[in-house]
Structure 1
Amino acid sequence: MAENLKPVALLLLMLNFCMYIILAVIGGWAVNIAIDRGFIIGPGLRLPAHFHPIFFPIGNFATGFFVVFSLLAGVVGIASGIVGFTHIRHWNYQSLQPATVVGLIAWALTVLAMGLACKETSFDRRNAKLGIMESFTIVLTVTQLFYVLAIHGGSRGPVLVERPHTVI
């Protein structure tokens, strides 16, 4: 059964890796928009009454948090993909542990970003790129969980223990 899940894990890994790259690129674009179009306060001016510390001129008040956590999830997800490719290549117990840990951290950040994506979703005046980012975050929550389950399920089997040779 362990070898049967290897192609499934590879397919999910490639899908997640591409989607995390797209998520990070769109998140970087949104941060760039926020930096370029954010508040500009001169020396004699005061902050607006409803100043938000993470201000994004696109979306609503949840957009800033959503973009930040999606960007973090994207970067950690890309790292999970790199570690996952190493695990798929070796497919042994020693490479399973880092792949599972980084995959679970990426999944946890993606779940957090998905919660903010659900809060950020609105049906009026929505930016198309943010809509794509929300959709990718929701899909990645499911596919990353299935990827972690696939690599963990593929690890079932005897674990070889290496013992140092002792001379008597």
Structure 2
Amino acid sequence: MASGGSKTVATTLLLVNLIMYVIVAAIAGWALNYGVNETPYSLSGLTPPARLFPIYFPIGNLATGFFVIFSLITGVVGIATSLTGLQEVSRWNPASLLSAAASSIITWALTLLAMGLACKEISIGWRSASLRTMETLTIVLTGTQLLCTGAIHAGAKNASLERF
């Protein structure tokens, strides 16, 4: 069975990505909760134009709001993709692998968007340690999700060739 290597690599990467996406979603959820709780106190003396964005993040810079929200979305979609991907890879037939590959590409695109916002936040400047952790995990997840997508695509190709 030539596709055993692809199955092992895909399963390992899906498990690693699942753990990292859970961490990213947890940190992003905490940052969003912190921003919501601290907004009334942080903006009490500012003028109305500063209140256009409903959440103010005192732990980061101007890109933090967008980065946190997109990281939370990416984390939740990544968790769902990893869980369903593990189920689909365990079946190892062409239809299930193509389904896992499609959702993996969507997750990679969202992770790439979050990575771009992380890079923007890094280039702007100061941020807290928890945001630096989330930025690092997002950048690493971009690479591992790409590898996972490639492994699933390779497995789908091998499974379809073995079937016919």
TM-score, with normalisation over the residues of structure 1? 0.86
Deviation at 1:91, TM superposition (A): 0.8
Q: Is the Cα contact below 8 Å between 1:24 and 1:74 reproduced in 2?
A: yes
1:148 match:
149
Which residue identity is paired with 2:115? M
The runs of 5 or more residues in structure 2 that have no matched partner are none
Supply the distance in 2 between the matched residues of 1:99 and 1:47 (Cα, whole angstroms).
Answer: 48
Q: 8 Å contact 2:13–2:144 — kept in the other structure?
A: yes
CA RMSD, aligned part only?
Answer: 2.2
Cα contact 1:93–1:159 (8 A) shared by 2: no
Give the structure 2 partner of residue 108 of structure 1: 109
| Larger helix proportion of the pair | 2
Q: Looking at CA atoms only, which structure, 1 or 2, has the larger radius of gyration?
A: 1
Could you say which residue in structure 2 is the equivalent of 1:84? 85
Unaligned runs of 5+ in 1: 162-168
1:126 maps to 2:127: yes
Q: Give the corresponding residue for 1:96.
A: 97
Deviations 1:63-101 (A, max 9, x none): 000000000000000011111111221011121122112
Q: Map of 1:1-168 to 2, 5 A cutoff?
A: 1-39=2-40, 47-53=47-53, 54-121=55-122, 125-157=126-158, 158=161, 160=163
Aligned to 1:164: none
Shift of 1:155: 1.8
Identity rate, percent: 47
Q: Deviating runs (4+, > 6 A) in structure 1?
A: none
**How many correspondences in the alignment?**
159
The structure-2 alpha-carbon separation of the partners of 1:46 and 1:136, relative to structure 1 and needing over 3 Å to count, comes to: closer
Question: 1:90 and 1:79 mapped to 2: Cα distance?
Answer: 17
The CA deviation at 1:51 is: 3.4
